[in-house]
Chain A
Amino acid sequence: DVKVTQSSRYLVKRTGEKVFLECVQDMDHENMFWYRQDPGLGLRLIYFSYDVKMKEKGDIPEGYSVSREKKERFSLILESASTNQTSMYLCASIGGGARYQETQYFGPGTRLLVL
């Protein structure tokens, strides 16, 4: 079974802090994604990466950056946390090949509260 893990289940940070969220997958997947999920808005794509050191902006990249130095690890960085970044953050991965036909495997999520 594919396993996607996230570094924290719950985080509380203060406005202006730099926040790191880490995601690790163990299936040698090429594609990894970071989403945030807010009530009534569904899952919104922040950034994704289709290879090591490659990254693409999603729909809401402002205020975020990412890093993918190793294939199994994809990090989301909040450069200066703000209260409107309070949300559930979900990491997901997909294998290569016919990418559009493959399901996304999600990590357990990180619930971030910014005070």
Chain B
Amino acid sequence: QKEVEQNSGPLSVPEGAIASLNCTYSDRGSQSFFWYRQYSGKSPELIMFIYSNGDKEDGRFTAQLNKASQYVSLLIRDSQPSDSATYLCAVTGYTGGFKTIFGAGTRLFVKA
């Protein structure tokens, strides 16, 4: 079992719709959770981080964390074609050493 799992996609949504990206993780000791966006041929850039259960909103983006279910999600409201990218989920823990594990990413296409 992979330590951080994401649906590889592609996920296709029409412009203006809500895109929902999901991520599960296996280490219950994980403490911080990140969503990165990566455009083709570019390096990842941070969208949001969350470390408490519940929702965290930043503009059109909402991160949701449920530690009991070991589940973190990213919602993108009013999706735009410029949101088309690969979204990486990353999970960080500090059990036996500082470590961040990345998921393989979900490809999102927003159709105009």
Instruction: Scan B2-45; emit 1 where CB is below 8 A from any A CB, else 0.
Output: 00100010000000000000000000000110100000001111
Q: Which of A31, A50, A103, A109 contacts B34 (CB 8 A)?
A: A103
Contact A106 B98 (CB under 8 A): no
Q: Specify which chain A residues have a CB less than 8 angstroms from the CB of B51 in the assembled complex.
A: 101
Question: Is B88 within 8 A of A108, CB to CB?
Answer: no
Answer yes or no: A12 CB below 8 A from chain B CBs: no
Main secondary structure of the interface of B (DSSP, over half): strand
**Quick one: which of A42, A56, A106, A108 contacts B105, CB cutoff 8 A?**
A42
Tell whether, in the assembled complex, residue B98 and residue A101 are in contact, meaning their CB atoms are under 8 Å apart: no
Question: Hey, which chain A residues are within 8 Å of B31, CB to CB?
Answer: 100-101
A99-B102 Cα distance, complex, nearest whole Å: 16
Interface size class for chain A? 20 to 34
How many angstroms between the C-alpha atoms of A104 and B47 in the bound complex?
A: 11
Q: Indicate if the CB atoms of B32 and A109 lie closer than 8 Å.
A: no
The contact string, 1 if C-beta is below 8 Å from chain B, for chain A 25-59, is: 00000010001000011111100001000001000
- Least distance between A78 CB and chain B CB atoms (Å): 20
* Contact digits for B68-107, partner A, Cβ 8 Å, 1 yes 0 no: 0000000000000000000010101110011110111100
Of B4, B8, B32, B44, which one neighbours A106 at CB under 8 angstroms? Answer: B44
Task: Give Cα distance in the complex from A42 to B51, angstroms.
Answer: 22
Minimum Cβ distance to chain B for residue A6 (Å) = 9
Chain B hits for A100, CB < 8 A: 31-32, 92-94, 98
**Residue pair B42, A108 in contact (C-beta under 8 Å):** yes
B24 nearest CB across to chain A (Å): 14
Query: Known pairs A43-B44, A109-B42. 5 more at Cβ < 8 A?
Result: A100-B31, A100-B93, A101-B32, A104-B100, A106-B45
Q: Which residues of A contact B (CB under 8 A)?
A: 31, 35, 40-45, 50, 56, 90, 99-101, 103-109
A and B contact pairs by CB, cutoff 8 A, 12 listed? A35-B102, A41-B104, A43-B44, A45-B100, A90-B44, A99-B98, A100-B32, A100-B92, A101-B31, A106-B43, A108-B42, A108-B43
